[in-house]
Structure formats: structure tokens, C-alpha cells
Amino acid sequence: MTFNWSGKRRWVALLLLIAGFVVMLTVPPVIPVIQLPGEVWPNGWMTNTLAASIIVWILLILLAFYTRGAMPKGSNEVPRGGFYNLFEMAFEGLYGFVRNITGERYLRYIFSFFMTIFLIVLLSNWIELIPGVDSVGFLHARAQSDPATGAVEVEEGFELNTVLPGVYALDPDCPWLSPEETAVMTVEARIAREQQNCATGTTRVIEGPEALVAGAEHELEPAADSESAEAGVEAAATEAAVAHEGAVTGDTEGAVEEGGRIDEAVEPDPEAAETGEPQEERLEAVHAPTGDPRVPWHIIPFLRAPSTDLNMTAALALIAVVMTQVLGFRALGIGYLTKFFNFRTLLTSPLGGIDVAVGLLELIGEFARILSFAFRLLGNIFAGSILLFVMSFLIPFLPWPFFILEFFVGIIQALVFALLTAIFMNLATASHHAEDEHGHAEEIPVEASAVGEMTPAHP
Amino acid sequence: MEEAVMLAGKAIGAGLAMIGALGGGVGIGLAVGGAVQAMARNPDFSSTIQTNMILGVAFAEAVAIYALVVSLIILFVL
Amino acid sequence: MEGLGLNLGYLLVQIIAFIVIYTLLTRFLYDPLTNVLRDRRQRIQRGLEDAAAAANARRNAETEAEKILAAARAEAARVVEEARSRGEDVARSVETEARAEADRIREEGRVRANEERDRQLADLRGQVAGIASAMAQRLIGESLDQKRQQTLVNNFFTQMPANAKTLSGSVEVVSAMPLTDEEQARARRDLGAENVTFSVDPNILGGLILRSGDRVVDGSVRSGLSEMSGRLR
């Protein structure tokens, strides 16, 4: 492979590298709060993984229509260049790949699932590589008050720096301190914090969050609220665009940490109120003006890679396994069940009992496949995204080798997910009886038979 | 104090859970080593061998990933 | 499950979205693209087959052309050979004709030369006789009359040898000077032979030599002179 280093491209790369450094210095990275479930947006129901999923779906639909438009119509038309040819090449390669595995009969069915799963998983994995994903988002006050008792729960977080009007960044030098922690601080620590220009834990007296909750005058006006929200999101979006350019040079993800507004959080459920459900456990978010140092802040990212959400991986795993069974019934009819409930040889053969046990094991194996599929993808990509922002935090100037690593991990995991689906589907279409008679029969190609031997040990 | 003990327990548990990655690592090493030898001896079948290798690596990796998931759950969910 | 974030609503949304995407992509992406690729593969296949057929046809045509060329070459060789042999025949016949013509012309020339010589010799005869008689007159001092002199000269040239009568059949008469018609008739009469031919040979100086088959009667002056010179010696 040869790179063309002449021309403008190298200067662009150099500029982006420098821009990455500037961003790293002005907005130093912090380690975000890591949680497995997708973070809920302030609107109360949209999670950031679902939002990213929607982007993936839209991209795929656009891909379908773009490809349909770019496809050569007549038999003599030369296809357009660029992305279409790349896609067509990959498509053709994967098509031949799947055909080698499955043969012609159920090719269309299996390939459709293979390709759809591959594309969805691939894009879902690659979303984590976009800078700003996992790091740019809504500001969220990590304090909640119990409306019944008025008790306030406060978690850890950071104070804010203002980068631009309406755009904030978490200050890694100023982790938020609760009044209790402030009370036990030494004088030196207090002075050191004051030198960092932090508000909490210094000699400056900060009122506790309780006062905030009590005082309704601190709540923002609705009009101003929405306005500031819009401004904040807009500014965050432009900043994300800047960060995206930086990323091409492999710049720091997680360097940019800002958000728009306070979390309005969960509104009281009117239905629940009507039916008189107990509301003791419901907590309400503390209302505080953005940037208020009296509450800890953290970020709810706008987007997070969908593959880091168990819902997405489990949904794909369920679909893959269920559609495998559907294909099995379609290919073998009701006889497919004898794969799991194999009583034919119970009375005729001395080892009939073993066949029954093997069948039941296969049944358990089908369920184990769901878990296996779901957690393999989740674990890989979740670990990958943690790796990315931990590395961005530890070595903000050089995280791009890990981006390359995750790029390939994304491809491989997508391929593995789709390939295993195709192979399991192909195994489901192969007659169990024929397998007994001829061993791994001629219809099953090398890959499938090899995997077939591996599968029992796999769950 | 209680929280500190709990955090310590979580950290220790997550670390112990990651011992499971050992097997996955060994398995992937063996699989790739064997595959590379096979490819060196028989370059014509590289593509087939590579496919099987990726599958085998995926299966071996799955075990390590389960360990990773367990440790992640210990750290971030429990 | 709550800690893992598994939520039935999100799960269902994902599943439904997958089904929608699956349907859309299968309908609008995979099937058309598969068809395009299959068409292209078939077209390439067909192209390859066409090319193979064309190559085959070309090979056939080449062998055919080779055959035709060989036939044409053989035909040409045959034609050339024929032309050459015919040309040789013609040349040979022309040559023979030319040679015959040349022979004829040479023969004619020879005959004419003989005639010319004979005529000149005949012209010479009178002068020779005149010179001879003048010489004799000087020698013997006696003048011969014209008639006798003429007779003498004639006899010198046309004296039939004594045993001429012994010859028969076809006789060739060789004389030093061409004989006049009258002398020839007399010679025929004297010889009595039915077939008499005359030829001239000045070397014999005078007299006649008669030849008939293997017999020769030599009455020439030359032989007489050589006999005389042999005697004198």
C-alpha cells in the first residue's frame, strides 16, 4: 500500500493534528461516568444508544436508496465510481463468501440476514470512533431530591468551565465536593483547591443543594429555558464538528466535554398520580441553573455506540436465533424438531438415551447462543469504547492507534456475528438424519462442518 | 467506610473475573499460530483457513469476553 | 436485568426496526444488486464463451485458409510446371525447326556454292584450255589448229578411262571441270550405266574418276601424274 504524501492532504493532516492539540489543551479530558445501560436523554425516554441506532437505521436506508440510484441500469452502463464501487466490491465479496458456506438453495434468505446484521453491527460499532460520541452531550446535575421527604442525594461530579457562551466543559481539576467532605478537608487542600479556581471545598461559602430545592425562584423561566437549551445544543453541535475534524488525525476523543442545559428529568407521572400509586421511591432531579457550583455535574452523551447497549445486541441475537429456527422448520418441516427431541433411537439402539440427551443439549445450546451472541458483541464494543476514552484521558495526544484497533475490531465483530448467523442457519437447513448417515454430508462446506464440530463445545 | 470496602471488593472481584481472559488469550494464540503454520504450508487455502481461524478466534475470544462482561457488570452494574 | 439496561420497550423497538430495515434492504438493496451482479457475471461468462468460440472459429478459419493456400500453391506449381514443359516443348520444336531450316539453308548455300564454283570452273575451262595450248605451242613450237586444240582440251578433261565399261549400276562421275550437258550425255552413253551422277573436284586436275559402290576406276590426271612421279623416282 502506498500513500500519496504530496499535495494538500498532508497539510490538512498536520493542521488537524495541531487542532487536536489545541482542543486537548483548552478542553482537557475527564473520565466520564461509565454505566452499562444507555443514558437517558433529558426528554425522559430517548436513550443515547437508541439515538445512535436511529442514525444507523437512517444511514442504512440512505445507503439502500443511494445504491439503487447509483446502480447501473442497463446492462451496458458502466457503474459510477467512488463509494458505490467500494460498496459493490464488498457486497460481491461477502456474497461469494456466504455462497461458499450455504450453497444456492437458501442463499437469498441467509444472505439477507447475513448482510443486514453485518451492516447494522458494523455501523453500530463504528459510531464509537466518531469523536464527540461518548463525550459531547447534555449537562446533567447529579443531585436528586425526594419530593416526599425533601432529602437530597448527591453523587460525584465536576464543576464547569465556560468554553463559549452556552457551551461548557467539565473541569478535571475540580471534582465536586459535598459539604460533608468539605468539612473534613485540611487547610492545605483547601488552599490548593482555591488556587485551582474551584468553588466547592474552598473558603468561599457555598450553600447546600437543599436550599436550591426549597427555593422555587431558582427555577428558570420556561421561555428562557428552551432558548438556552437550543443555543446550547447548537453550540455543542458546532463544537462536535470541530472535534470530528480533529479525529481524522486520530485526535482525542473525550477531550471535548460540554453540554447544553440542566436536566429537567422525570416529571411526575399524571397517570400514576391518578391511580394513586405510591410515589415514595420517586426522586426528582434538583433544579439548578447551569454551571451552578453547588451541584455536581456530569454529561449525558448525545450518542453512544448502539452495540454497547444490551437491548440492541440482545435484539439482534434473538432475531438471529429465532430466524434460524424458522429457516430450520422451513427447510425440514416438522422433522426439524427431531433435532431437539430425538426419541427415534430410544428403543432400537442401546445408546438411544444418549441421543435424547444430545438433542436436549442442542436445545439448551440454542438458548445459550442468544446469550453468546448478545454478550460477545456487547463485551467487545463496550470494552472497546471504555478503552477509547480511558486512552483519550491517559494519553490525549496519541490515542489514535487504539482507534485503528477498534476500527478493525468493529469489522471483525460484525463479520463474526453475521458469519455465525449464516453458519447456524446453514446447519439448521442440513438434515439431521443425513448427517447421521453420511457424517457431515457433502452439502455442508468446510467452514460449516468445522463449526458444526465446534458448536457443541461452544456454549 | 462501608462504601470503601464495597469498592475494594468490586475491584478485587473484577480483577479476579478477568483471570478468565487467560484461557481466551492462550486459545487465540494457539489458533492463530496453527492457522499461520497452515497458511505457510498451504498458501492456496489461505482464505478458507483464515475464515476458520477468525471463527475459532471468535469462539475463544467469547470466553474471555464473558469474563470481561462479568467484570464490567461487577464494576458498573452491581 | 434493570442493571444491565435490558428493557422490553427498547428491545421491541430494536427488533421492529431490524425487521423494517431487513425488508427495505432486501427489497431495495440486496435483490437489485444481486441481479446486477448476476447479470454482469453472466455477461462476462457469455463474453468469455463468445471469445472462446471466436478463437475456435479463427483457428478453424486459419486451418481452412492453410488448406486453401496449400491447394492454391500446388495448383500454381502445377500450372508453372505445365507452362514450363510446354515452353520447353515449344522451344524444342522451334529449335528443331530452326535447325532444320538452318540445315536447309546451309544445304541450299552449299548447292549454290557448288553451282557457282561449277560455273566459275566452266568459265575457267576455256581460259585454261587457251593458256594450256599457248603454253604447249611455245613448248613444242607447233601450232595447233583451233579445232584440234579444243578436242585436245576436251579430252584432257573428259577422257573416259579405258575400263569404264566394267562399271555398272549407279556410277558417280567426278571431273576436274564441270561437264557440259553434251559431255554428260556422252559420258552416260559411253558408260551405259542407268544411273549416273556428276560431281566436280578440281583437285584431280583432269580426266575422270568413276565410282560405283566400292569400285573405283581412276582415270584422273592427278593419279597419272603421281604414278608418273613414282616411276621417275
The residue extents of the domains of chain C are 18-116, 158-232
> Which of A311, A370, A373, A381 to mutate: most C Cβ within 10 Å?
A311
Residues A213 and A321 in one domain: no
* In the predicted structure, residue A250 carries a pLDDT above the cut 70: no
Residues A214 and A356 in one domain: no
Residues A254 and A182 in one domain: yes
- Find the helix or strand (DSSP H, E) in which A268 lies: none
With cut-offs at 50, 70 and 90, classify the pLDDT of residue A254.
very low
* In the predicted structure, residue C10 carries a pLDDT above the cut 80: yes
* In the predicted structure, residue A440 carries a pLDDT above the cut 90: no
Instruction: Work out the average pLDDT over A370-374.
Output: 89
Residues A318 and A293 in one domain: no
Residues A346 and A209 in one domain: no
Q: Name residues whose C-beta falls within 8 Å of residue A121's C-beta, 6 or more positions apart in sequence.
A: A307, A316, A377, A413, A414, A417, A418
Cβ–Cβ below 8 Å for B72 and A383: yes
With cut-offs at 50, 70 and 90, classify the pLDDT of residue A444.
very low
**Domain carrying residue A321:** 80-130+307-457
* In the predicted structure, residue A419 carries a pLDDT above the cut 80: yes
Instruction: Work out the average pLDDT over A68-73.
Output: 80
Residues A165 and A196 in one domain: yes
Buried b (16+ CB within 10 A) or exposed e, B22-34: eebeebbeebeee
Buried b (16+ CB within 10 A) or exposed e, B45-76: eeebbebbbbbbbbbbbbbbbbbbbbbbbbbb
Residues A327 and A427 in one domain: yes
Q: Which three cell numbers stand for residue C93?
A: 520444336
d(CA A440, CA A337): 19
d(CA B56, CA B31): 7
Domains contained in chain B, CATH given? 2-77 (1.20.20.10)
Residues A146 and A284 in one domain: yes
| Chain C neighbors of A53, CB-CB under 8 A | 14, 17
Q: What is the longest distance spanned by two Cα atoms in chain A?
A: 88
Q: How far is CA C112 from CA A431, C3, C118, C121, C172, in A?
A: 126, 152, 10, 14, 20
Residues A187 and A268 in one domain: yes
Last residue of a domain, one of A301, A330, A356: A301
Q: Which three cell numbers stand for residue A188?
A: 492545605
Range ranked top by mean pLDDT from A57-66, A337-346, C220-229: A57-66
Determine the distance in angstroms separating the CA of C55 from the nearest CA of chain A, rounded to an integer.
23
With cut-offs at 50, 70 and 90, classify the pLDDT of residue A338.
confident
Instruction: Work out the average pLDDT over C58-71.
Output: 94
The residue whose grid cell reads 460481491 is A92
Last residue of a domain, one of A243, A270, A301: A301
- Taking residue A238's Cβ as centre, other Cβ atoms within 10 Å add up to 11
Buried b (16+ CB within 10 A) or exposed e, C153-168: bbebbbebbeebeebe
* In the predicted structure, residue A449 carries a pLDDT above the cut 50: no
> For residue C175, what are the β-bridge partners?
C200, C208
Q: What is the pLDDT of residue A434?
A: 46
Window 141-170 of C: residues touching A by CB (8 A cutoff) are none
Q: What is the longest distance spanned by two Cα atoms in chain B?
A: 63
The residue whose grid cell reads 444430545 is A358
pLDDT digits (tens, 9 = 90+) for C133-168: 777 777 776 666 777 777 777 777 777 777 777 777
Tell me which of A4-18, A220-234, A358-372 is least confident. Answer: A220-234
With cut-offs at 50, 70 and 90, classify the pLDDT of residue A121.
very high
Q: Which residue in chain C has the smallest CA separation from A87? A: C33
Number of domains in chain A: 2
- Closest residue to C4, CB basis, from A53, A60, A310: A310
pLDDT digits (tens, 9 = 90+) for B3-60: 889 889 999 999 999 998 899 999 999 999 999 999 999 988 888 888 788 778 877 8
- Closest residue to A57, CB basis, from C15, C21, C37: C21
The residue whose grid cell reads 460477545 is A376
Chain-wide mean pLDDT for chain B? 87
Q: Name residues whose C-beta falls within 8 Å of residue C54's C-beta, 6 or more positions apart in sequence.
A: none
With CA atoms as reference, report the closest residue to A385 among A216, A206, A132. A132
Residues A190 and A142 in one domain: yes
Instruction: Work out the average pLDDT over A373-390.
Output: 88
Q: What is the pLDDT of residue A226?
A: 33
Q: What is the pLDDT of residue A443?
A: 41
Chain-wide mean pLDDT for chain C? 84
* In the predicted structure, residue A366 carries a pLDDT above the cut 70: yes
Last residue of a domain, one of A244, A275, A301: A301
| Chain B neighbors of C3, CB-CB under 8 A | 73, 77-78
Tell me, yes or no, whether A265 lies in a domain. Answer: yes
* In the predicted structure, residue A437 carries a pLDDT above the cut 60: no
Q: What is the pLDDT of residue A346?
A: 73
Residues A126 and A140 in one domain: no
Tell me, yes or no, whether A29 lies in a domain. Answer: no
Residues in chain C: 233
> Which of C4, C13, C23 to mutate: most A Cβ within 10 Å?
C4
Chain-wide mean pLDDT for chain A? 72
| Chain C neighbors of A95, CB-CB under 8 A | 34, 37
Q: What is the pLDDT of residue A283?
A: 57
pLDDT digits (tens, 9 = 90+) for A156-195: 777 777 777 777 777 777 777 777 777 777 777 777 777 7
d(CA A38, CA A126): 17
The ipTM is: 0.78
> Which of B45, B49, B68 to mutate: most A Cβ within 10 Å?
B68
Q: What is the pLDDT of residue A332?
A: 87
* In the predicted structure, residue A123 carries a pLDDT above the cut 70: yes
Residues A238 and A159 in one domain: yes
Environment class of C69 (CB within 10 Å of its CB; exposed 0-12, middle 13-18, buried 19+): exposed
**B77 in contact with C, Cβ within 8 Å:** yes
Q: What is the pLDDT of residue C17?
A: 93
Q: Name residues whose C-beta falls within 8 Å of residue A79's C-beta, 6 or more positions apart in sequence.
A: A70, A71, A72, A85, A88
